[in-house]
Structure 1
Amino acid sequence: MESNTLILNENSKLLSRVLDQKVKKGFVVEEVNNKLPFVVLSKKPRKVNHNLNFWISCATFGLWSIPWIYKSYKAKKEKKIIIAIDEDGKLFEEECYS
Protein backbone atom coordinates (compact mmCIF):
# COMPACT_ATOMS: atom_id res chain seq x y z
CA MET A 1 0.00 0.00 0.00
CA GLU A 2 2.86 2.33 0.78
CA SER A 3 4.41 1.75 -2.64
CA ASN A 4 1.14 2.79 -4.36
CA THR A 5 1.16 6.05 -2.42
CA LEU A 6 4.79 6.64 -3.34
CA ILE A 7 4.07 6.02 -7.03
CA LEU A 8 1.06 8.36 -6.94
CA ASN A 9 3.18 11.09 -5.33
CA GLU A 10 5.90 10.70 -7.97
CA ASN A 11 3.30 10.80 -10.77
CA SER A 12 1.60 13.88 -9.36
CA LYS A 13 4.98 15.61 -9.01
CA LEU A 14 5.76 14.82 -12.65
CA LEU A 15 2.33 16.09 -13.71
CA SER A 16 2.80 19.31 -11.76
CA ARG A 17 6.26 19.88 -13.30
CA VAL A 18 4.91 19.48 -16.83
CA LEU A 19 1.94 21.69 -15.92
CA ASP A 20 4.28 24.43 -14.69
CA GLN A 21 6.23 24.29 -17.96
CA LYS A 22 3.03 24.60 -20.02
CA VAL A 23 1.77 27.54 -17.93
CA LYS A 24 5.09 29.32 -18.52
CA LYS A 25 4.54 28.84 -22.28
CA GLY A 26 1.22 30.69 -22.07
CA PHE A 27 -1.36 27.97 -21.44
CA VAL A 28 -4.23 28.52 -19.00
CA VAL A 29 -5.66 25.76 -16.80
CA GLU A 30 -9.31 25.09 -17.64
CA GLU A 31 -10.05 21.90 -15.75
CA VAL A 32 -8.26 19.79 -13.14
CA ASN A 33 -9.26 16.34 -11.97
CA ASN A 34 -7.28 14.79 -9.12
CA LYS A 35 -9.26 11.56 -8.92
CA LEU A 36 -8.36 10.64 -12.49
CA PRO A 37 -5.18 12.67 -12.78
CA PHE A 38 -5.60 14.92 -15.79
CA VAL A 39 -5.48 18.62 -16.62
CA VAL A 40 -7.08 20.43 -19.56
CA LEU A 41 -5.16 23.49 -20.77
CA SER A 42 -5.97 26.09 -23.39
CA LYS A 43 -4.02 28.77 -25.21
CA LYS A 44 -5.64 31.82 -26.75
CA PRO A 45 -5.15 32.53 -30.46
CA ARG A 46 -2.09 34.58 -31.35
CA LYS A 47 -2.02 37.65 -33.50
CA VAL A 48 -0.04 37.53 -36.72
CA ASN A 49 1.81 40.65 -37.85
CA HIS A 50 0.52 40.78 -41.43
CA ASN A 51 2.47 43.93 -42.33
CA LEU A 52 5.78 42.30 -41.46
CA ASN A 53 4.85 39.09 -43.28
CA PHE A 54 3.80 41.05 -46.35
CA TRP A 55 7.18 42.79 -46.55
CA ILE A 56 9.05 39.53 -46.00
CA SER A 57 6.95 37.98 -48.76
CA CYS A 58 7.81 40.86 -51.11
CA ALA A 59 11.52 40.55 -50.29
CA THR A 60 11.51 36.80 -51.03
CA PHE A 61 9.49 37.22 -54.26
CA GLY A 62 6.42 35.50 -52.79
CA LEU A 63 8.14 32.45 -51.33
CA TRP A 64 7.27 33.55 -47.80
CA SER A 65 3.54 33.58 -48.65
CA ILE A 66 3.21 29.82 -48.07
CA PRO A 67 4.55 29.89 -44.48
CA TRP A 68 2.57 33.09 -43.90
CA ILE A 69 -0.71 31.39 -44.86
CA TYR A 70 0.11 28.37 -42.68
CA LYS A 71 1.09 30.60 -39.77
CA SER A 72 -2.13 32.61 -40.10
CA TYR A 73 -4.23 29.45 -40.23
CA LYS A 74 -2.61 27.92 -37.13
CA ALA A 75 -2.59 31.17 -35.14
CA LYS A 76 -6.31 31.86 -35.38
CA LYS A 77 -7.30 28.63 -33.61
CA GLU A 78 -7.52 28.26 -29.86
CA LYS A 79 -5.32 25.37 -28.81
CA LYS A 80 -6.54 22.91 -26.18
CA ILE A 81 -4.48 20.06 -24.80
CA ILE A 82 -4.95 17.42 -22.14
CA ILE A 83 -2.13 16.20 -19.93
CA ALA A 84 -2.85 13.02 -18.00
CA ILE A 85 -1.38 9.97 -16.34
CA ASP A 86 -2.48 6.65 -17.83
CA GLU A 87 -3.03 3.31 -16.06
CA ASP A 88 0.65 2.41 -16.32
CA GLY A 89 1.71 5.63 -14.61
CA LYS A 90 3.07 7.20 -17.78
CA LEU A 91 2.46 10.83 -18.60
CA PHE A 92 0.89 11.66 -21.96
CA GLU A 93 -0.21 14.79 -23.77
CA GLU A 94 -2.82 15.01 -26.52
CA GLU A 95 -4.72 17.71 -28.37
CA CYS A 96 -8.40 18.12 -27.53
CA TYR A 97 -10.59 18.23 -30.58
CA SER A 98 -13.73 20.32 -30.52
Structure 2
Amino acid sequence: MKNHFIKQDKLNLFTKVIANKIQNGFVVVERNDKLPFTVLYKEGKKINHSLNFLICCATLGMWSLPWLYMTQVTAKDQKVLVAIDEEGVVFEEKCYLG
Protein backbone atom coordinates (compact mmCIF):
# COMPACT_ATOMS: atom_id res chain seq x y z
CA MET A 1 0.00 0.00 0.00
CA LYS A 2 1.36 3.38 -0.98
CA ASN A 3 1.70 6.06 1.60
CA HIS A 4 0.02 9.25 0.32
CA PHE A 5 0.49 12.58 1.98
CA ILE A 6 -2.46 14.94 1.86
CA LYS A 7 -1.65 18.55 1.10
CA GLN A 8 -2.74 21.28 3.49
CA ASP A 9 -4.94 23.02 0.90
CA LYS A 10 -6.91 19.78 0.38
CA LEU A 11 -7.37 19.42 4.15
CA ASN A 12 -8.58 23.03 4.32
CA LEU A 13 -11.09 22.35 1.52
CA PHE A 14 -12.21 19.15 3.30
CA THR A 15 -12.75 21.08 6.54
CA LYS A 16 -14.59 23.87 4.69
CA VAL A 17 -16.99 21.40 3.04
CA ILE A 18 -17.77 19.82 6.42
CA ALA A 19 -18.26 23.25 8.03
CA ASN A 20 -20.71 24.23 5.28
CA LYS A 21 -22.68 21.02 5.79
CA ILE A 22 -22.82 21.58 9.56
CA GLN A 23 -24.00 25.15 8.94
CA ASN A 24 -26.81 23.72 6.76
CA GLY A 25 -28.10 21.57 9.62
CA PHE A 26 -26.07 18.36 9.32
CA VAL A 27 -24.48 16.71 12.37
CA VAL A 28 -21.33 14.58 12.41
CA VAL A 29 -22.13 10.89 12.90
CA GLU A 30 -18.70 9.39 12.28
CA ARG A 31 -15.27 10.87 11.69
CA ASN A 32 -11.88 9.35 10.85
CA ASP A 33 -8.83 11.59 10.62
CA LYS A 34 -6.45 8.87 9.43
CA LEU A 35 -8.20 8.13 6.11
CA PRO A 36 -9.82 11.03 6.27
CA PHE A 37 -13.60 10.85 5.97
CA THR A 38 -16.66 12.16 7.77
CA VAL A 39 -20.26 10.90 7.72
CA LEU A 40 -22.91 13.58 8.28
CA TYR A 41 -26.64 13.18 8.99
CA LYS A 42 -29.62 15.51 8.61
CA GLU A 43 -33.14 14.68 9.70
CA GLY A 44 -35.89 15.33 7.16
CA LYS A 45 -38.37 18.15 7.58
CA LYS A 46 -41.79 17.43 9.02
CA ILE A 47 -44.63 17.93 6.54
CA ASN A 48 -47.97 19.32 7.69
CA HIS A 49 -50.23 17.24 5.44
CA SER A 50 -53.50 18.79 6.62
CA LEU A 51 -52.29 22.31 5.76
CA ASN A 52 -50.98 21.12 2.39
CA PHE A 53 -54.31 19.43 1.67
CA LEU A 54 -56.15 22.70 2.33
CA ILE A 55 -53.73 24.60 0.07
CA CYS A 56 -54.17 21.91 -2.60
CA CYS A 57 -57.96 22.29 -2.45
CA ALA A 58 -57.74 26.10 -2.53
CA THR A 59 -55.50 26.04 -5.63
CA LEU A 60 -57.68 23.41 -7.37
CA GLY A 61 -54.96 20.78 -7.24
CA MET A 62 -52.08 22.96 -8.46
CA TRP A 63 -50.33 22.56 -5.09
CA SER A 64 -50.22 18.76 -5.47
CA LEU A 65 -46.85 18.78 -7.30
CA PRO A 66 -44.98 20.89 -4.70
CA TRP A 67 -46.66 18.83 -1.96
CA LEU A 68 -45.50 15.60 -3.63
CA TYR A 69 -41.97 17.00 -3.95
CA MET A 70 -41.88 17.97 -0.28
CA THR A 71 -43.15 14.54 0.73
CA GLN A 72 -40.67 12.60 -1.42
CA VAL A 73 -37.53 14.75 -1.19
CA THR A 74 -37.38 17.19 1.70
CA ALA A 75 -39.11 14.95 4.25
CA LYS A 76 -36.50 12.18 3.95
CA ASP A 77 -33.47 11.89 6.17
CA GLN A 78 -30.12 12.54 4.48
CA LYS A 79 -26.77 10.91 5.12
CA VAL A 80 -23.65 12.20 3.34
CA LEU A 81 -20.05 10.98 3.19
CA VAL A 82 -17.35 13.62 2.72
CA ALA A 83 -13.86 12.25 2.13
CA ILE A 84 -10.50 12.69 0.42
CA ASP A 85 -9.66 9.93 -2.07
CA GLU A 86 -6.26 8.42 -2.86
CA GLU A 87 -5.43 11.17 -5.39
CA GLY A 88 -6.18 13.86 -2.82
CA VAL A 89 -9.51 14.95 -4.31
CA VAL A 90 -12.27 15.99 -1.90
CA PHE A 91 -15.57 14.32 -2.80
CA GLU A 92 -19.08 14.10 -1.41
CA GLU A 93 -21.34 11.09 -1.78
CA LYS A 94 -24.87 10.34 -0.61
CA CYS A 95 -25.24 7.33 1.66
CA TYR A 96 -28.29 5.12 1.48
CA LEU A 97 -30.32 4.85 4.66
CA GLY A 98 -31.42 1.38 5.59
TM-score interval (norm. to shorter): 0.7 to 0.9
Q: Does 1:86 align with 2:85?
A: yes
CA drift of 1:38 comes to 0.8
Give unpaired runs (5+ residues) of structure 1: none
TM-score, with structure 1 as normaliser: 0.82
Partner of 1:50: 49
Equivalent-residue separation in structure 2 for 1:36 and 1:70 (angstroms): 36
Specify the code of the residue in structure 1 equivalent to 2:55.
I
The sequence identity of aligned pairs, in percent, is 47
TM-score, with structure 2 as normaliser: 0.82
> How many residues in Structure 1 have an aligned counterpart in Structure 2?
93
State the SS of the aligned residue for 1:47.
coil
Partner of 2:36: 37
CA drift of 1:59 comes to 2.7
CA drift of 1:79 comes to 0.7
Specify the code of the residue in structure 2 equivalent to 1:79.
Q
Specify the code of the residue in structure 2 equivalent to 1:80.
K
Equivalent-residue separation in structure 2 for 1:39 and 1:19 (angstroms): 8
Give unpaired runs (5+ residues) of structure 2: none
Equivalent-residue separation in structure 2 for 1:59 and 1:92 (angstroms): 44
Q: For 1:59-70, list aligned pairs within 5 A.
A: 59-70=58-69
Q: Does 1:71 align with 2:50?
A: no
> Please, what is the CA RMSD of the aligned residues?
1.7
Specify the code of the residue in structure 2 equivalent to 1:16.
T
